[in-house]
Each structure stands twice: as C-alpha cells, then as structure tokens.
C-alpha cells in the first residue's frame, strides 16, 4: 500500500483531520489525530495491518516469529490483525496497578515475538512490553506500529517498522500562525 493510500484511509475515516485545532494540552495544531477512528472499521484496520506486515517482511531480513504481543487496550486490535496476517498466535499484556503485566498467557523460552501497537509517541508502552518479553525468556524480533508520532525519537533494541509517520506541528496560542490567519478554531471531541 502506498503512503498516499494509507493517508487517505486515515483522512476518510476522520482519524486524521487537517485544520486548526486546540489540543488537550492547550496548544494549537494544524492536525488532529485519533487512531481509534480508523479502527472503527475492521476491514480498513485489517487492510492497514496487512500492509504493515508486508512492509515488515520487505524491510526486515528475519521475520521468523512465533507470536505477536500487544499492550492493551490500544494495541489489541492491531496485534490481532497483525497476527492473523502473519498466521501466528496473538497475546497481550494489560494494565494492573498502573503497570503492564502478562496475566493470562505463557511465554516459552526462546519464543520469538513481534510487538504490535497502534500509535507510538514516546514509546513507553512498547518498552514495557519489550521488558516483559525479555523477563519471561522470549526474544523481541521486531516492532510493528501503525503510526509513528515520535519524529524518529522512539528507538528500541529491536527494529521498528511503522506504516505511517506523522509528526504533530504545535503552536503556542499566543504565537499561532493559524490564529493570525483568522482560521476557525476547532475543539475536537469534548475532552
């Protein structure tokens, strides 16, 4: 899938909006991104995950993996679809006492993993998931994410492949060029 086609799917589902937005942080931005909105549509989500797996196979020499693991909640549908595309098992880690934990599943010694996630900004949840795999004797072969918002700053011990890279441009409201243009300010959601 070409980059323009990927972008189009995010725009058509309103997951990616262009305009003049007030973010929850109070900063203004020319873009608003809400990944859950593209994942409302299982067929589109499935297509995106297949495209991610194709890209991982093209970019990485060794995609021999046993299992996909994802951090709940955001990563669950992605992990499920990535595992389906790879034809392997899927498990997840989940929050308990504000920390990700492996609660329901077992990891075998030497089991090889792809970590799947929807969006990475700083990469904390991916790193927590890597630590859990390592602590349980598994091996992280690769990390596959739908959208990388880190501007290249998220780096891990295993190779990272992202389907789309979008870096938010934010402005202080007192010095926002979109305000100066007089563009209508949108408050996405009611958060």
Question: Which residues of the chain form contacts with Zn ion (CB under 5 A)?
Answer: 28, 176, 178-179
Picking from 164, 124, 166, 122, the residue whose alpha carbon sits closest to that of residue 144 is 164
Distance of closest approach, residue 163 Cβ to Zn ion, in angstroms? 29
Place of tokens 């608003």: 32
Residue number, 21 or 113, with CB nearest to Zn ion: 21
Cα 125 from Cα 131, distance rounded (Å): 10
Of 7 and 185, which CB lies nearer to Zn ion in the complex structure?
185
Nearest to 149 by CA among 126, 177, 174: 126
Please give the Cα distance from 90 to 144 (Å, whole number).
Answer: 14
Nearer to Zn ion by Cβ, of 35 and 178: the residue is 178
In the complex, what is the shortest distance from the CB of residue 166 to Zn ion, in angstroms, rounded to a whole number?
19
Find the shortest distance in angstroms from Cβ 55 to Zn ion. 35
Query: Using CB atoms, what's the residue nearest to Zn ion?
Result: 176
């Amino acid at each position: 899938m070409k980059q323009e086609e990927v972008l189009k799917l995010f725009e058509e589902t309103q997951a990616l909006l262009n305009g003049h937005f007030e973010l929850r942080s109070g900063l203004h931005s020319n873009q608003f991104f809400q990944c859950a909105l593209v994942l409302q549509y299982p067929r589109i989500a499935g297509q995106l995950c297949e495209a991610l797996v194709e890209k991982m196979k093209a970019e990485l020499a060794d995609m021999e993996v046993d299992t996909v693991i994802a951090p709940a909640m955001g990563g669950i549908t992605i992990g499920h679809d990535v595992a389906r595309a790879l034809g392997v098992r899927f498990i997840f880690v989940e929050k308990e006492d504000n920390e990700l934990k492996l609660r329901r599943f077992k990891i075998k010694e030497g089991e090889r993993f792809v970590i799947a996630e929807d969006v990475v900004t700083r990469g904390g949840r991916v790193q927590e998931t890597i630590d859990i795999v390592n602590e349980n004797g598994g091996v992280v072969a690769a990390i596959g994410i739908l959208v990388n918002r880190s501007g290249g700053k998220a780096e891990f011990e295993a190779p990272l492949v992202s389907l789309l890279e979008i870096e938010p441009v934010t402005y202080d409201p007192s010095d926002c060029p979109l305000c100066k243009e007089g563009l209508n300010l949108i408050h996405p959601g009611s958060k």
